[in-house]
């Protein structure tokens, strides 16, 4: 995966949250607020947005050594709150963390709301120290904070492995 795209009500606030919660680094603004917004039939056809919606600004952020996060600030008359995790569509995105307690504290300090947890991994993902916790961003998207320092039971059943980032060197950050 290269990146995930998230529509947010305010790009600067969302970017600041991701920077504080996950050390995300803004890479570039592909559409700047000072430029005319993308709107009209062509934008609607290319992006699948509702009639009259304006794509005001767009930013790519680096998240550690994994996939990026692309933020879209759009304004439209028929926008809805994010879907619940039980609705169809993107349910959540997961961020691998080395220290679940520390990541949870940062997430909350940055303005996110933590859901129940921390929780142990279940089934074939269980192992000592393997855990997760959901949180809700200030704009309503669900993020899973997850860690799996121990081998997982699924590894006995297949040679395939889930992606796991290299541990972060605190002296270097997420270069």
| pLDDT: which is higher, 144 or 82 | 144
Q: Is 170 inside a domain boundary?
A: no
Average pLDDT value for residue range 34-61: 91
Query: Do the domain assignments include residue 10?
Result: yes
Q: Is 143 within the bounds of a domain? A: yes
State the CATH number of the domain containing residue 125: 3.10.180.10
Q: Find out whether 19 and 13 touch, Cβ atoms under 8 Å.
A: no
Q: In this structure, are 100 and 59 located in the same domain?
A: no
The number of C-alpha atoms within 13 Å of 129 and in the hemisphere containing its C-beta is 8
pLDDT in tens, 140-172: 999 999 999 999 888 888 998 888 888 766 666
> In terms of domains, do 71 and 114 share one?
no
Range 69-95 average pLDDT: 85
Domain span at residue 150?
93-156
In a domain, 141, yes or no: yes
pLDDT mean across residues, the chain: 89
- How many domains are there within the chain? 2
Specify burial of residue 96 (Cβ count, 10 A radius: 0-12, 13-18, 19+). middle
Domain co-membership, 122 together with 68: no
State whether 65 and 122 are in the same domain: no
Q: Please tell me the pTM assigned to this model.
A: 0.80
pLDDT digits (tens, 9 = 90+) for 94-121: 999 999 999 999 999 999 999 999 999 9
Cα(12)–Cα(1) distance, rounded to whole angstroms? 24
Q: Are 13 and 71 within one domain?
A: yes
Q: Where are the alpha helices (DSSP H) in 25-165?
A: 41-47, 100-109
The answer to whether position 174 is within a domain reads no
Residue 129, domain member (yes or no):
yes
Give the pLDDT confidence score for residue 109 in this predicted structure.
Answer: 98
């Amino acid at each position: 995966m290269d990146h995930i795209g998230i529509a947010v009500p305010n790009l600067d606030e969302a970017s600041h949250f991701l920077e504080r919660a996950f050390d995300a680094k803004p890479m570039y603004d592909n559409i700047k607020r000072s430029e005319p917004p993308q709107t009209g039939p062509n934008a609607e056809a290319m992006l699948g947005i509702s009639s009259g919606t304006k794509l005001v600004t767009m930013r790519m952020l680096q998240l550690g050594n994994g996939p990026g996060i692309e933020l879209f600030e759009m304004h439209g008359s028929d926008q809805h709150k994010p879907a619940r995790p039980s609705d169809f569509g993107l349910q959540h995105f997961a961020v691998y963390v080395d220290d679940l307690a520390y990541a949870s504290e940062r997430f909350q300090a940055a303005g996110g709301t933590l859901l129940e947890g921390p929780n142990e991994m279940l089934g074939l993902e269980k192992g000592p120290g393997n855990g997760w916790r959901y949180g809700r961003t200030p704009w309503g998207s669900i993020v899973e904070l997850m860690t799996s320092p121990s081998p997982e039971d699924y590894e006995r059943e297949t040679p395939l492995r889930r992606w796991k980032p290299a541990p972060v060197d605190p002296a270097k950050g997420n270069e």
